[in-house]
Amino acid sequence: MPEIKEYLFGKTLAELTEIAGTLDLPKYTGGQLAYWLYKTDIDSFDGMTNVSKKTRNILAEHYDVGVQAPVNVQESTDGTKKYLFRAGSGKFIEAAYIPDGKRHTLCVSSQVGCKMGCLFCMTGKQGFQGHLTTGEILNQLRSIPERKEMTNVVYMGMGEPFDNLDAVMKSLEILTAEYGFAISVRKVTVSTIGIVPAMRVFLEKSKCNLAVSLHTPFDEERRRLMPIQNVYPLKDVVETIREFDIGKYRRVSFEYIMFKEVNDTRRHVNELARVLNKVKSRINLIRFHPIPGTPLLGSDEAAIADFQQALNDKGIVTTLRASRGQDIDAACGLLSTKELVKAQTLE
Amino acid sequence: MKRNLNLNKVKVSRQTEIAPGVFVLSFPRPWDFSAGQVLGIGTHATDEARLYSIASGELDDEVDVLYSINPGGKLTPWLSKIVTGDNIWVSEPFGSFTGTDDPAWWIASGTGIAPFSAMFRSGLTAGKKLIHGGRDLNSFYFNKDFSGFFKEKYVRCCSRDSAEGIYDGRITKYLSELPQLPANEKYYLCGSAEMVVEVRDILIEKGIPFDNIISEIYF
């Protein structure tokens, strides 16, 4: 059985420099490695042409590069692509690439499955199979052909990013650092259901955008839709955001899936206006994409338009997210690798 | 990274291994709480707290915490070595997965029984039925208390072992086989994400309005 070596892909510059020191390599090797790992397409040490052969041999003795190609891709009629990656034995994750004119967005996963059990989410139905490493998160960007076109990265795929905070924070560093992928913090958004302590760490340490899954401003309704409400209620989430000075560069948005006759009434508009009073933010309405066995229905188009208008009239900037990739189950809330995980388990 | 739950030092009064790798840790109760609430536990004041449901009653002198060792975890291997007189760091209780006097089904897997133990020990037992799932016969924590009180309204579902009086199979199989469930009662679920979403799907399929299903998840 071949020896499994630690991967270099997913290490920060500080970690790469430390590794170079541990292996008695010149300190600048850390910077060279970061360049090859995050700014080029090489997938082996042989391609690192400005690194000496001797150094490459030492590195290859102890480490693997750790870049993994997707194992499958599906393409939607609207141009959206859903990439499938392996993430450890018998585990899979998905990432969605969404082109829209000059804007190219990659929706990445942070966990295999999800623990949060939201009533409306397909990923939640597969349960939780594990956290992704920093390398596995970034590999979703690094290994797809559209990598160089990417303008935006959103952490809205499988899993709850703030339940895997350390790996996600490291990935944000590498994604936005000059030595890394050098994507502007204004083009990166992390979505959470509102794990307050971890969200606070994110707001303190990162300048990336934040999106919070809100879905109803009423506590009792929210805890039926999202069990997290029992532990971290919306009021704590909003109060935490209020504590931070959300400058003009960081955007905070609240995601709101529209469920017919559940959360699409005028009562909800009024309560949203009250709850979000003086929070510099916007609301992003999302059409519901029904999942098997769900008791929920999507609001009709007229109700969505009325709701959006009513919120805008209240002074809350409200947009409606376009549904993309629905025909390949790449749209919001539809990512799942449950069947693949099951199949691997049975093999 | 600090997860910013304020943790205060408490002295452990007792720790008992009630099943292989499963412990009840106790310390004098420093605050009031509502049965069903959670607390954060850490190894020091600025530690990244992990959340656990309180298993003791609202008026008990001591707070009991039920946990199982997660071998790869940061906290529980350390916690399992704690002895009487050692310190641990805990947050104040919080959370709204709390019990009421209304009729309800309590459905738990593994250590997800903890909030229902707290509700039971707080006297919130009227009109309740308790369904507990476990892999083996050692998994039915506090079963003597429950079976003595609930009698036939306490159902143990065991997926790997068989024994008289124990349902042979998972909770999901047990619930699926029930011909009918009362639609106007509340259903409280606590356990792994897999259990919660599977049971919730079964309840909805059997006609329970999702408004009547309240879930607590481990994370």
Domains of chain B: 8-90 (2.40.30.10), 104-217 (3.40.50.80)
Gap between the Cα atoms of A225 and A256, Å rounded: 12
Q: How confident is the model at residue A344 (pLDDT cuts 50, 70, 90)?
A: low
What is the C-alpha to C-alpha distance for residues A192 and A208, in angstroms, rounded to an integer? 13
**Displacement of CA B105 from its chain's centroid (Å):** 14
Are B217 and A117 an interchain contact pair (Cβ–Cβ within 8 Å)? yes
* Same domain (yes/no): A45, A107: no
Interface test with A, best of B119, B194, B199, B206 (most A CBs within 10 A): B194
> Band of the pLDDT at A1, cuts 50, 70, 90?
low
Per the CB < 8 A criterion, the answer to whether B157 and B131 are in contact is yes
Q: What percent of chain A has pLDDT over 70?
A: 95
Catalytic, A339? Answer no
Neighbours of A6 (CB within 10 A): 12
> Which of A64, A80, A114 marks a domain boundary?
A64
Quick one: average pLDDT of A18-45?
95
Say yes or no: A154 and A283 in one domain: yes
Domain that holds residue A144: 72-346
Distance from CA of A57 to the nearest CA of B (A): 33
Name the more confident of B3 and B97. B97
Q: Per-residue pLDDT for B32 more than 60? A: yes
| Statement to judge: residues A166 and A281 lie in one domain | yes
- Where among A45, A64, A83 does a domain terminate? A64
CB A261 within 8 A of CB A307: no
pLDDT at A33 over 70: yes
**ipTM value for the complex:** 0.89
Residue A130 and residue A34 share a domain = no
Confidence band (pLDDT; 50, 70, 90) for A332?
Answer: low
Binned at pLDDT 50, 70 and 90, residue A341 comes out as: low
Whether the predicted pLDDT of A21 surpasses 50: yes
CA A72 to chain centre: 19
Given a cut of 90, is residue A248 above it in pLDDT? no
Looking at the fold, whether A52 and A107 belong to one and the same domain comes out as no
Residue B71: what pLDDT? 87
**DSSP codes of every residue in A53-121:** HHHHHHHHHHEE------SEEEE-TTS-EEEEEE-STT-EEEEEEEEETTEEEEE--SEEE-SS--TT-
Burial A131-146 (b: 16+ CB within 10 A, else e): bbbbbbbbbbbbbbee
- Residue at A13 is within a domain: yes
Interface size between A and B, measured as CB pairs under 8 A: 83
Cβ of B95 and A128 within 8 Å?
no
Q: Which CATH number is A18's domain given?
A: 1.10.150.530
In terms of domains, do A60 and A77 share one? no
Residue A316 lies in a domain: yes
How many domains would you assign to chain A?
A: 2
The answer to whether residue A134 sits within a structural domain is yes
Asked if residue A224 and residue A141 are part of one domain, the reply reads yes
**Which residues 42-71 in chain B show a CB within 8 A of chain A?**
49, 51
Average pLDDT across chain A, whole number: 92
- Which residues in chain A have Cβ-Cβ distances shorter than 8 Å to B200? 117, 119
Which has more pLDDT, A322 or A84? Answer: A84
Q: Partners of B64 in the beta sheet?
A: B26
Kindly determine whether residue A230 and residue B214, on different chains, have CB atoms separated by under 8 Å: yes
Q: Does B152 touch chain A (CB under 8 A)?
A: no
Residue range A181-206: mean pLDDT, rounded: 96
Q: In this structure, are residues A160 and A190 in contact, taking their beta carbons and an 8 Å threshold?
A: no
A49 is a domain residue: yes
A1 lies in some domain: no
Q: Is residue A243 part of a domain?
A: yes
CATH of the domain at A296: 3.20.20.70
Among A30, A45, A64, which residue terminates a domain?
A64
* Average pLDDT taken over every residue of chain B: 95
The predicted pLDDT at position A347 comes to 46
Chain B nearest C-alpha distance from A43 (Å): 31
Position B63 pLDDT exceeds 70: yes
In a domain, A312, yes or no: yes
A329 in the same domain as A229: yes
Q: What is the pLDDT of residue B98?
A: 96
In 3D space, the residue among B84, B82, B76 whose CA is nearest the CA of residue B28 turns out to be B84
- Are residue A60 and residue A76 in the same domain, yes or no? no
Q: Which of A269, A327, A330 is nearest to A303 (CA)?
A: A269
| Region B192-218 average pLDDT | 94
- Cβ contact B209–A229 (<8 Å): no
- Given an 8 Å threshold on Cβ–Cβ distance, is B197 in contact with A127? yes
Q: Name, in order, each residue with C-beta under 8 angstroms of A320's C-beta and a sequence gap of 6 or more.
A: A284, A285, A286, A287, A304, A308
**A52 shares a domain with A145:** no
A75: closest CA among A125, A146, A158?
Answer: A146
In a shared domain, residues A165 and A260:
yes
pLDDT of residue A343: 63
Catalytic, A94? Answer yes
Residue A48 falls inside a structural domain: yes
- A164 and A59 both lie in a single domain: no
DSSP letter for each residue of A154-183 = EE-SSS-GGGSHHHHHHHHHHHHSTTTT--
Which residue of chain A comes nearest to B195, CA vs CA? A127
> Inter-chain contact B194–A128, Cβ cutoff 8 Å?
yes
- Give the mean model confidence (pLDDT) for residues A23-52: 94
